[in-house]
Structure 1
Amino acid sequence: MFDSRRRNTPGIALTSLMSLALLVGGACGPNPETPAPGETATDNREATSPGSPEAINPGAEELAPPSAEMDAPAPSVAPTSPEEAGSSSLGSTAQAVTGLRTVAGWETLFLNRWNSEHTSSFLPKSNSLDSWQFYDLAYGIDGNTAMYRATGKTQYLDRALLYVNNMVGHAKSSASLPRSQFKDGYLGWASARSDTLGQEVPLFESYCWRYVTRMLRVIKETPALYGNATYRAQYDKLLAFTEKNMFEKWNKRGANSYLYRVNTHMASHWAYIALDLSRMTTDATKKATYLTVVNNINRDMPNNSSSLRGQLMTSMVNPSAYFWAAEWGSKSRPGQDVAHGNGVMAYITEAHDAGMEWTNADMSKFVVTLNNVIWPSAGRYANYVDGTGSGTGWFNDGLMKLGRYNVALQRRLETHSVGQNTQYYGNAALNVKLLDSGSAL
């Protein structure tokens, strides 16, 4: 969905509803970023809707729901120590994880929905010629990749690869797409949404591809996979496609319009993609280009007055938390809506863990933002990062990943009943795996 506050664009964006397959098949969550009526893919004013996403129905196939949250305020999180504030690495000492649901416990929940989501949603979406379908497919790729990272079981990685290979196999030359606004030689897909019918839409592609590059980086950084001929062949093919027909395509079509987007969350998708590519490419020139995009979005947007770092300020309701607005240069409340804040956090958690820009001190403040401001007590969810409004509690696509840094938050996530699906379960399992490896701050 697109924001009614976007620049020079009147009207209120339509709220995007999940498909029936998502509701009863149990695939994903809400679609927080969709085109506004009448907005074309060449319009660089894409933004987001301030409306809350729809709460997800856990679905009939889910295991018995976990026990209800204790009706008590969220546990406070102490600020990071001064020594940690200057470090971007993970904490060196493992925090006790006794009593947390295990990786195996999360995997059991994951498997209860794995095949139903695959057949009802993710597999058909991966075979679609409609780029809009790739938006929700992102969640399937992320969930399977996370579960592979948590368990080391290649059946999950193989499923994520299947989805990506299917998408790439259906890509067509822009010149052959009847209604494409570009008609160039790059490969891509047309949207079948009525408001972007036939167009190539950078948002739909980038929203999904950040999780494609993360999956590819897992292969690159896992010797047993990278040294395996079958995985290496897929990696090489998909990386080459991504470098040319994702990053190069939208960068050359217009970086200011299509990479350096008009708000925090859409720009963060490209920072995520560029971060991953910078850690995979063997071409020094490409690497420099990717790092420039990452650094620009982190610190110095070339076409806006701010950056992700520049947007951050101390929360006005909790001095140990962060506040930020989605619109570049804005410091006004209520700030970023929680639904789209997920996208920002999906990038920042991975950048932190890669040792780029975001420190332990930053992550501690983000943990407090979720644990104490956005989610102050059981069943209470803010719609904005200043703690105001009534939200749905859908944290799957980014905010829940903060559980890898804080045991108390991870314990709360065990009892959270909103958005339970394979993306949620996969990332919860990864949180536990990382906590057990010493990621707690």
Structure 2
Amino acid sequence: MSESRRSNTSGLALSSLLSLALLVGGACGPNPEATPGETASVDTSGENAQGTPEAVNPETQTPAPSFQDEDALAPSDQEADALAPSDSEAVAQVPSAPAADPAAPSQEELGTTAQAAVGLRTVAAWETLFLGRWNSEHTSSFLPMSKSLDSWQFYNLGYGVDGNTAMYRATGKTQYLDRALLYANNVVNNARVSSSLPRSQFKDSYMGWASARSDTVGQEVPLFESYCWRYVTRMLRVIKETPALYNNSNYRAQYDKLLAFTERNMFEKWLKRGANSYIYRVNTHMASHWAYMAMDLSRMTTDATKKATYMTVFNNINRDMPNNTSSLRGQLKTSMVNPAAYFWAANWGSSARPGQDVAHGNGVMAYLVEARDAGMEWTAADMQKFVVTLNNVIWPSATRYANYVDGTGSGTGWFNDGLMKLGRYDANLQRRLETHKVGNNTQFYGNGALNAKVLSGQ
């Protein structure tokens, strides 16, 4: 069977199966950046209607429920066979004591946060909830997504990488990092040279994947790749910044391979294909994914020229978009409904209400939180304004969720991909998140655990 026929057939079949699986027990939440055509006008963001749930039936737009609780305390046989090296080998090589996280806020910035955090759900309690879904999400969603030849599957795969990376950061247990690495390695192993992809619009020497989604069949889609890969670079940075991992031959080999692939076949690829089209994207959330990756790569690369390129992209998106009249910093305004909160619009140069929809705002916040913790551009004062934005404007009461950052509209309450990460800066917000019933999956629980670790002052 030809490569193109095998790729398209398997990708479409898997896509259909996963749509069904997500309906009856999906791992994910709102899918804000499902992009018909990818380069559509800024008015529509080239995506589904704002605020659409992430894991949805494309026919009904019905939100997918989370997995049911079940025992999942150890890797499955399927995963054990697939891991190279195995979880047990990695655990034996690296101590499982919680790792120091150099990106965490300083003690001075935390102030009395640790004291305020007394009585919050512990990391261990979050981990127990995480383990109740760990294997079911892995076997039914994330593992098959990672083995797919369809780049559309990688979009939701990013949540699996993020949840496992967060749980490793919270606990130091390498079984979680190993699973995130497994997903990234599987995706890279299925990459093909662009010129061999029958319907690629580029046909060049970079490695990539074709989409099997109906509106982008055969195309290489930067959104699908970047939405996942921001979490791959964050995982790689964890390895780089954790001596016990970076100095371990097993993890170092995987790190070196994935970093080299990322630098050439993710960042350089889309930069060379057209930065204004594929890096400096048409709205805040899509551009933020590239700022996230540029930040991470700038902290890992050993090449001064590459570092300068990454920092240029990082600073441009934050401060001076070369193809637009604004930037992420320029978009932020004082909220018109709460002066202690932020307001921003998704469209560059706009300050019109209702502003950014919450579903896409998660993607922006996922980047801003990590940039703040890395001490790059975004500050503790910024985070406090975002905390108020979520705690008082977007989520004014237990079951009332706004659809937009000005507090208007009726939203889903899905905060997993970014907004819930603000819990690491505010114990009261974290306490609310403990009782939140939307999006209770491994990404939610993993980041809840990481919030708890940061709040405890560790």
TM range (shorter): 0.7 to 0.9
Map residues 345-364 of structure 1 onto 2, 5 A cutoff: 345-364=365-384
Q: How does 1:57-96 map to 2 (within 5 A)?
A: 57-61=65-69, 91-95=109-113, 96=115
Correspondence for 1:51: 50
- CA RMSD for the aligned pairs? 1.7
Tell me the CA shift for residue 274 of structure 1.
0.4
Q: Does 1:338 align with 2:373?
A: no
Alpha-carbon distance in 2 for matches of 1:128, 1:24: 20
Deviation at 1:172, TM superposition (A): 0.1
**Residue equivalent to 1:251:** 271
Distance 2:49 2:197 in 1: 33
Asked which structure has the greater RCO (Cα within 8 Å, sep 6+), the reply is 1
Aligned amino acid, residue 387 of structure 2: V
- Separation in 2, partners of 1:315, 1:43: 29
Residue 392 of structure 2 corresponds to: 372
Q: Report the equivalent of 2:74.
A: none
Provide the C-alpha distance between the structure 1 equivalents of 2:27 and 2:423, rounded to a whole number of angstroms.
22
**TM-superposed deviation, 1:56:** 4.2
Percent identity reads: 78
SS in 2 for 1:53: coil
CA shift at 1:42, angstroms? 6.0
How far did 1:48 drift?
3.6
Cα distance in 1 between the residues matched to 2:106 and 2:143: 37
> What is the CA distance between 1:404 and its match in structure 2?
0.3
Structure 1 partner of 2:322: 302
Match of 1:213 among 200, 212, 233: 233
What residue is the counterpart of 2:262 in the other structure?
A: 242
| Distance apart, 1:29 and its partner CA | 1.3
Q: 1:242/1:386 Cα in 2 relative to 1: closer, same or farther (>3 Å)? A: same
Question: 1:288 — aligned with what?
Answer: 308
CA contact (8 A) 1:181 1:199 kept: yes
**Structure 1 or 2: more helix by fraction:** 2
Shift, 1:430, TM fit? 0.2
- Structure 2 residue aligned with 1:329: 349
Q: Match of 2:321, as an amino acid?
A: M
Shift of residue 43, structure 1, vs aligned partner: 5.9
**AA paired with 1:125?**
M
8 Å contact from structure 2 (residues 67, 136) kept in 1: no
TM-score normalized by the length of structure 2: 0.84
Q: Which residue of 2 aligns with 1:30?
A: 30
8 Å CA contact 1:263–1:327 kept in 2: the answer is yes
Of the candidates 149, 152, 155, which is equivalent to residue 132 of structure 1? 152
Structure 1 residue identity aligned to 2:360 = H
Q: What is the one-letter code of the residue matched to 1:210?
A: R
CA distance in structure 2 between the partners assigned to 1:52 and 1:244 by the alignment: 33
| Residues 76-225 of structure 1: pairs in structure 2 closer than 5 A | 91-95=109-113, 96=115, 97-225=117-245
**Does the 8 Å contact 2:67/2:137 carry over to 1?**
no
Q: Is the 8 A contact 1:56 1:418 kept in 2?
A: no
Q: Is the Cα contact below 8 Å between 1:23 and 1:59 reproduced in 2?
A: no
The one-letter amino acid of 1:33's match is: E
Shift of 1:159: 0.2
Q: Which residue of 1 aligns with 2:80?
A: none
Distance 1:135 1:435 in 2: 30
Q: Is the 8 A contact 2:421 2:448 kept in 1?
A: yes
Q: Does the aligned pair in 2 maintain the 1:326–1:335 contact within 8 Å?
A: yes
Which residue in 1 is equivalent to 2:414? 394
Code of the residue aligned with 2:50 in structure 1: it is: G
Q: Is the 8 A contact 2:344 2:356 kept in 1?
A: yes
3-state SS of 2:215 partner:
helix
Q: Are residues 1:19 and 2:19 paired?
A: yes
Kindly provide the CA deviation profile for residues 278-326 of structure 1, in whole angstroms up to 9, marking residues without a partner as x. Answer: 0000000100100000100000000000000000000000000000000
What SS does structure 1 have at the residue aligned with 2:219? coil
What does the per-residue CA deviation read over 1:154-197, in whole Å, with 9 as the maximum and x for residues that have no partner?
00000000000000000000000000000000000000001000
Q: Which amino acid aligns with 2:188?
A: V
Q: Which moved more, 1:18-27 or 1:290-299?
A: 18-27
> How much has 1:34 moved relative to structure 2?
1.2
Instruction: State the partner residue of 1:4.
Output: none
- Out of 307, 312, 336, the residue aligned to residue 316 of structure 1 is 336
- Provide Cα deviations, 1:26-65, integer angstroms capped at 9, x if missing partner: 41112110122xx2x56686544443233441333369xx
Runs of 4+ in 1 over 4 A off after TM superposition: 41-46
Q: Please say if residues 113 and 421 of structure 1, whose CA atoms lie closer than 8 Å, have aligned partners that are also in contact.
A: yes
Q: For residue 224 of structure 2, what is the amino acid of its counterpart?
A: F
* CA shift for structure 1 position 98: 1.1
Asked if the contact 1:89–1:355 (Cα under 8 Å) also holds between the matched residues in 2, the reply is: no
What is the TM-score normalised by the length of structure 1? 0.87
CA contact (8 A) 2:40 2:46 kept: no
